[in-house]
């Protein structure tokens, strides 16, 4: 089995205001080209889990693997590199830099990684924008485009370093039904045409039902997957 991500017995506690066991023995796997959604009531631990899986939060017990590599126990510097190379993120809010152009926003994570020349990165950024049918917006300021377009720019930015997995925290939470449908179709194409794995926290049942698998969280525990 070609695994992209695996967790083994992840447990996490918050210590303030009092001890709270927020993630309980969370074990699951994401395969290559798999499109997985995470659902659960408000407060069930979805965002907390995504922080752990995305390597941002290291305060947990258990094991996290990306591919074959054990990620748990790495230094913050190592994690930052691993994250930039392997994981793309799309959030509910696009977090684009409004004074920068669309193209500059998409180029930023590749600049940060520092592995390619400016010209190569610019070419890659245009290619991602073309794939998402928004290359004509490349030189617009990010503040001057629509909400749906902003989310597509955020997806292009998440893809610029060719991650193995794309993670989303409510990526359609701020969009109308037409733009949500667009985002779903983009994700599905990325899976089918590029073999990308996707892991998306969502409250949207219609969205989740059409993914390959739903991981259901209840009080920090997986009750179905």
Ligand X SMILES: Nc1ncnc2c1ncn2[C@@H]1O[C@H](COP(=O)(O)OP(=O)(O)OP(=O)(O)O)[C@@H](O)[C@H]1O
Binding site for ligand X (CB under 6 A): 14, 20, 22, 40, 42-48
Q: How far is the CB of 7 from ligand X (least distance, A)?
A: 15
Q: Which is nearer to ligand X, 37 or 44 (CB)?
A: 44
Q: Which is nearer to ligand X, 16 or 77 (CB)?
A: 16
Q: Which long-range contacts (CB under 8 A, 24 or more apart) does 159-163 make?
A: 159/88, 159/128, 159/190, 160/106, 160/107, 160/108, 160/109, 160/110, 160/121, 160/124, 160/125, 160/128, 161/84, 161/85, 161/88, 161/109, 161/110, 161/113, 163/85, 163/86, 163/87, 163/88, 163/196
Q: How far is the CB of 20 from ligand X (least distance, A)?
A: 6
Q: Which is nearer to ligand X, 14 or 93 (CB)?
A: 14
Q: How far is the CB of 45 from ligand X (least distance, A)?
A: 4
Q: Are 107 and 121 in contact (CB under 8 A)?
A: yes
Question: Rounded to an integer, what distance in angstroms lies between the CA atom of residue 67 and that of residue 34?
Answer: 13
Question: Rounded to an integer, what distance in angstroms lies between the CA atom of residue 217 and that of residue 225?
Answer: 9
Q: Which is nearer to ligand X, 45 or 88 (CB)?
A: 45
Q: Which is nearer to ligand X, 22 or 214 (CB)?
A: 22
Q: Are 5 and 66 in contact (CB under 8 A)?
A: yes
Q: How far is the CB of 56 from ligand X (least distance, A)?
A: 13
Q: How far is the CB of 94 from ligand X (least distance, A)?
A: 18
Q: How far is the CB of 10 from ligand X (least distance, A)?
A: 13
Q: Is 138 helix (H, G, I), strand (E, B) or coil?
A: coil
Q: Which is nearer to ligand X, 149 or 169 (CB)?
A: 169
Residue 203 contacts by C-beta under 8 Å, 6 or more apart in sequence? 39, 170, 173
């Amino acid at each position: 089995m070609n695994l992209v991500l695996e967790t083994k017995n992840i447990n996490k506690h918050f210590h303030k205001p009092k001890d709270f066991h927020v993630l309980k023995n969370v074990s699951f796997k994401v395969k290559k080209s798999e499109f997985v959604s995470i659902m659960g009531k408000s407060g069930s631990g979805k965002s907390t889990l995504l922080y752990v899986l995305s390597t941002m939060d290291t305060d947990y017990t258990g094991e996290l693997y990306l591919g074959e590599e054990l990620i748990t126990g790495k230094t913050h510097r190592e994690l930052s590199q691993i994250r930039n190379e392997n994981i793309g993120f799309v959030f509910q809010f696009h977090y684009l830099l409004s004074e920068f152009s669309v193209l500059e926003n998409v180029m930023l994570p590749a600049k940060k990684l520092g592995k390619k020349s400016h010209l190569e990165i610019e070419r890659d950024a245009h290619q991602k924008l073309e794939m998402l049918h928004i290359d004509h917006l490349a030189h617009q300021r990010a503040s001057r485009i629509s909400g749906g377009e902003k989310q597509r720019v955020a997806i292009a930015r998440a893809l610029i370093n060719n991650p193995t997995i794309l993670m989303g925290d409510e990526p359609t939470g701020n969009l109308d039904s037409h733009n949500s449908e667009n985002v779903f179709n983009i994700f599905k194409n990325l899976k089918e045409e590029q073999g990308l794995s996707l892991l998306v926290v969502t409250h949207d049942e219609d969205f989740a039902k059409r993914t390959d698998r739903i991981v259901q969280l209840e009080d920090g525990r997986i009750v179905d997957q």
